[in-house]
Structure 1
Amino acid sequence: MDMRYGINPQQSAAHAVPVNPQRPPIRLLQGQPSYINLLDALNSWQLVDEAARTLERPAAASFKHVSPAGAALAGEVDEVTARLHDVDPASVGELTSAYLRARDADPKSSYGDFVAVSHEVDVELAELLARVVSDGIVAPGYAPGVREILAKKKNGRFLVMEADAGFEPPDQESRDVFGMRLTQERDRVALTPDLLSDVQVGTLPKEAESDLLLGLAVLRHTQSNSVCYLRDGMTLGIGAGQQSRVDCTRLAGAKVDTWWLRRHPRVRSLEFRPGVRRQDRVNWQIRFIEGDLTPDERARFRAAVIGDPGELGADERTEWLTRLSRVSFVSDGSLPFRDNVDHARRHGVTSIAEPGGSIRSGDVEEACREHGIALARTGLRLFHH
């Protein structure tokens, strides 16, 4: 497969070759991918396929730069998400609901995303994709009429890839880096409820078990260090690729706060003038939440909205954030200090899954007891690089 270019446009000579030419894992149906597009497709497909198989529900992911901005299972689409995308939450189909929930986790980052879904793309999802800014999709199949809809997107440059749902990857995987070939055994540990059986603190509710398993599937395909917050079968915030784990925890926690504050009555009541694009509405909602508008931004914000929305005060923010609960938190590596737990608790976390084995795991356990957080030790590290 000839690629449009490598990681950067100046790396013009780029191509991909399947290990087994007779059975490639994905097939290109439309467009010409870049190196990053292909990495996004391969990583995101593995995530949604594993999540759907593990939890027996359709799954979707919104990928940017080889890590998910959001991932979710099929489920209820709330009024905030439905209004943003002009859909009827009472009639939206399962696969579309999974993608809407995945994209809504971090809609600012999902702008121009690569989409992955675990099941055949239907017309409903194709028509939704025609209205959002995204670069491509990977799925195990496409219903009649869907490819014709997607062919019109980006003047035919929208990438459409078909995954082989029955593909079995080789036992070993390799990559070349600066003249060295690195080879390792593929990680084949199944993500089963047994991984959550070693509960050190409290009791895991059934819904938390499902969210924690989804979190493990997400982090298995997210650049390390990584953590994620989840609730009701969807990610609320993902922190990826930081050198410090607590930085991941704080970064992802800030995204959780933004997700929840977008549901504040003051934010929901913002009315935008006709012609303000969807992504601009998202960006203005977030800037309104952040509250540190520059004078120039304030003038442009006032021109975009109807009326004077005032400001979201610190007391209003704090009171609303205390209402968030039943959030699960997963870490791809051992929590090295209790500060991760202390920060996670500020974002409604009541359940945590992490490998354990740190020299300060006792401190982590004690922090969970203090905060009333259930703690499961998986014994499984899920680094991904």
Structure 2
Amino acid sequence: MTDLMPLTRALISVSDKTGLVDFAQALAARGVEILSTGGTALALRKAGLHVTDVADVTGFPEMMDGRVKTLHPKVHGGLLALRDNQEHLAAMQAHDIAPIDLLVVNLYPFEDTVAKGADYDTCIENIDIGGPAMIRAAAKNHAFVTTVVDVADYHTLLAELDAHDDCTGLAFRKRLAQIAYARTAAYDAAVSTWMAGAIGTETPRRRAFAGTLAQTMRYGENPHQKAAFYHDGSARPGVATATQHQGKELSYNNINDTDAAFELVAEFDPAQGPACAIIKHANPCGVATGATLAEAYSRAFDCDRTSAFGGIVALNQTLDAETAAEIVKIFTEVVIAPEATDAAKEVFAAKKNLRLLTTGALPDPKAARIAWRQVAGGFLVQDHDIANVTAADLKVVTKRVPTEDEIRDLLFAWTVAKHVKSNAIVYAKGGTTVGVGAGQMSRVDSALIAAKKAERMAEAMGLPESPAKGSAVASDAFFPFADGLLEAVAAGATCVIQPGGSMRDDEVIKAADEAGLAMVLTGQRHFRH
């Protein structure tokens, strides 16, 4: 197989014209003949470049609103012909097909069109046909043809030509071919995913996911695991779209935990007041509301001061200097907020290892989206858990009815429990978590751990008794037996929120009545694995 291939004839047809003129001028200066179409040809001619229309090569004009222009043997023959195959060369000569050594194509902006909320017909019109066909043809014939699909590779190609006397090497063409196929795969994934939603197909026969490399990481969860971070192209505010103002590069675990923290704090409407969530290993170790952001942070920190060390802090309002001054009192890995004042940034500037991210907005906790995870031989796909309840949704099942204050704490605890790994138990009082039990195989153990956390909070703060006394307790799923509930009673909880639905609901309700607790059922659970 030939290694170095000269580049003498190029076909350029792009939707994104960033850097186009400079790139084409650099090719023309190397004596490369340029073929082009439509708007690309117009832009190049305006820049003074000589361009041959594809229509002049094929003998057919662009037709059907541009749907048909490059789907022709003189284009695909020029891309697909094997230069070392005598039959192919004879066919090219017989049908007047000239070789195309370079294809430069970026596709109709389908993803952007969908993101802007365009109607069905507009989205359909922005599905590129000729572009992917040419890309696949050129990439298949990478033994002879160079394929460029990203503006970022214009400079890369020019550097390759400089290094090899206006030729490209086989290894280089292979690498660009892989990039090309990944682009068409991602494009088709975007189209198929959009169409499934547009026509109401909830479980399409085939499902594809795609992303663009954002960061190659030093390692994954552990140093022996390779890892990378990919953007899926969505505009959802969060760690993928955030601006990093300072600090070293985010790690795999940083990104995972920061996402968990920001999605949790987004549950609390900033118009209703400040809120803070502190996350460690994807679980909240403290969540609180407050009159000020600084107060919300301090209350969240007090819930579990030990676990908060080296954690992730997420805020639902603009980070101010007062809150920043509290945060820097201990080591914190990442702080994420919608915005940050200049004064807050100055406070953080002295902590060079602290990463500060701003997102411009909070993610919508009610926006529908897809979650997926890999398993051996396949992957699981589901809707993200966007369910929640209001006071009107609660069903009181005990003799005692919860007070208004208890209702507020029950709903707060329930919101937090949604973001705690199952089995989850959350004690809360006054809009603050006071004990969190996460990820245990037994719900009883989660209740015990949460109660123990509350006792440690009392010790750390010098409180006369556990803050779990008089608290509300949330269980992410039903109590299968009364034992888990009785641990909450022992901890001092006065009211309980849980889904209900156990075969022993009557037994659990009876235990609550005997203890004088108020219990409400939600009718929904929040398993999080």
TM-score (norm 1): 0.75
Letter in 1 for 2:444: V
CA offset digits 1:279-312 (Å, max 9, x no partner): xxxxxxxxxxxxxxxxxxxxxxxxxxxxxxxxxx
Contact 1:101–1:234 under 8 Å retained in 2: yes
How far apart are residue 198 of structure 1 and its match? 3.5
Select the structure of larger CA radius of gyration: 2
Aligned to 1:64: 280
Contact 1:228–1:252 under 8 Å retained in 2: yes
CA offset digits 1:58-77 (Å, max 9, x no partner): 110111000001111115xx
Stretch moving more, 205-214 or 193-202: 193-202
How far apart are residue 7 of structure 1 and its match? 1.0
Counting only pairs closer than 5 Å after superposition, residues 242-253 of structure 1 correspond to structure 2 as 242-253=440-451
> C-alpha distance in 2, partners of 1:167/1:119?
12
Aligned to 1:74: 290
CA offset digits 1:217-246 (Å, max 9, x no partner): 111111111111111111111000001000
Aligned to 2:263: 46
Aligned to 2:350: 152
2:423 is aligned with 1:225? yes
CA 1:113–1:362 in structure 2 vs 1: closer, same or farther (change >3 Å)?
Answer: same
How far apart are residue 133 of structure 1 and its match? 1.3
> C-alpha distance in 2, partners of 1:172/1:114?
24
Aligned to 2:438: 240
Letter in 2 for 1:363: E
CA 1:13–1:255 in structure 2 vs 1: closer, same or farther (change >3 Å)?
Answer: closer
How far apart are residue 259 of structure 1 and its match? 1.9
> C-alpha distance in 2, partners of 1:46/1:161?
14
> C-alpha distance in 2, partners of 1:212/1:360?
22
Contact 1:40–1:66 under 8 Å retained in 2: yes
Aligned to 1:6: 220
The structure 1 residue matched to 2:518, chosen from 364, 371, 374, is 374
> C-alpha distance in 2, partners of 1:139/1:12?
29
Letter in 1 for 2:516: G
Aligned to 2:527: 383
Letter in 2 for 1:209: I
> C-alpha distance in 2, partners of 1:374/1:104?
27
Letter in 1 for 2:258: A
CA 1:110–1:24 in structure 2 vs 1: closer, same or farther (change >3 Å)?
Answer: closer
Letter in 2 for 1:362: D
How far apart are residue 164 of structure 1 and its match? 4.7
Q: For residue 99 of structure 1, give the secondary structure of its aligned residue in structure 2.
A: helix
Letter in 1 for 2:310: G
Q: For residue 398 of structure 2, give the secondary structure of its aligned residue in structure 1.
A: strand
CA 1:183–1:215 in structure 2 vs 1: closer, same or farther (change >3 Å)?
Answer: same
Q: For residue 45 of structure 1, give the secondary structure of its aligned residue in structure 2.
A: helix
For structure 2, the residue ranges without an aligned partner over 5 or more in a row are 1-213
Q: For residue 7 of structure 1, give the secondary structure of its aligned residue in structure 2.
A: coil
How far apart are residue 148 of structure 1 and its match? 3.1
> C-alpha distance in 2, partners of 1:11/1:35?
10
CA offset digits 1:297-345 (Å, max 9, x no partner): xxxxxxxxxxxxxxxxxxxxxxx54896321100001011111121111
Contact 1:201–1:376 under 8 Å retained in 2: no
The structure 1 residue matched to 2:497, chosen from 341, 353, 372, is 353
Contact 1:202–1:373 under 8 Å retained in 2: yes
The structure 2 residue matched to 1:344, chosen from 488, 491, 506, is 488
Counting only pairs closer than 5 Å after superposition, residues 1-385 of structure 1 correspond to structure 2 as 1-2=214-215, 3-20=217-234, 25-26=238-239, 27-29=242-244, 30=246, 31-52=248-269, 56-75=272-291, 94-153=292-351, 155=352, 157-165=353-361, 167-168=363-364, 170-264=368-462, 321=465, 325-385=469-529
CA 1:164–1:170 in structure 2 vs 1: closer, same or farther (change >3 Å)?
Answer: farther
Contact 1:71–1:235 under 8 Å retained in 2: yes
Letter in 2 for 1:17: H
Residue-pair matches, total: 309
Contact 1:73–1:233 under 8 Å retained in 2: yes
CA 1:67–1:105 in structure 2 vs 1: closer, same or farther (change >3 Å)?
Answer: same
**Which protein, 1 or 2, shows the higher relative CO under an 8 Å CA cutoff with sep ≥ 6?**
1
CA 1:58–1:4 in structure 2 vs 1: closer, same or farther (change >3 Å)?
Answer: farther
TM-score (norm 2): 0.55
CA 1:204–1:48 in structure 2 vs 1: closer, same or farther (change >3 Å)?
Answer: same
CA offset digits 1:7-37 (Å, max 9, x no partner): 11222332232342x5553314133111211
CA offset digits 1:225-283 (Å, max 9, x no partner): 11111111111110000010000001111111222344557xxxxxxxxxxxxxxxxxx
> C-alpha distance in 1, partners of 2:290/2:314?
13
Letter in 1 for 2:436: I
Contact 1:202–1:374 under 8 Å retained in 2: yes
Contact 1:200–1:377 under 8 Å retained in 2: no
How far apart are residue 162 of structure 1 and its match? 1.9
Contact 1:321–1:347 under 8 Å retained in 2: no
CA offset digits 1:89-114 (Å, max 9, x no partner): xxxxx101101100110111111111
Contact 2:454–2:466 under 8 Å retained in 1: no
Q: For residue 353 of structure 1, give the secondary structure of its aligned residue in structure 2.
A: strand
CA 1:323–1:246 in structure 2 vs 1: closer, same or farther (change >3 Å)?
Answer: closer
> C-alpha distance in 1, partners of 2:454/2:263?
25
Contact 1:71–1:218 under 8 Å retained in 2: yes
Q: For residue 264 of structure 2, give the secondary structure of its aligned residue in structure 1.
A: helix
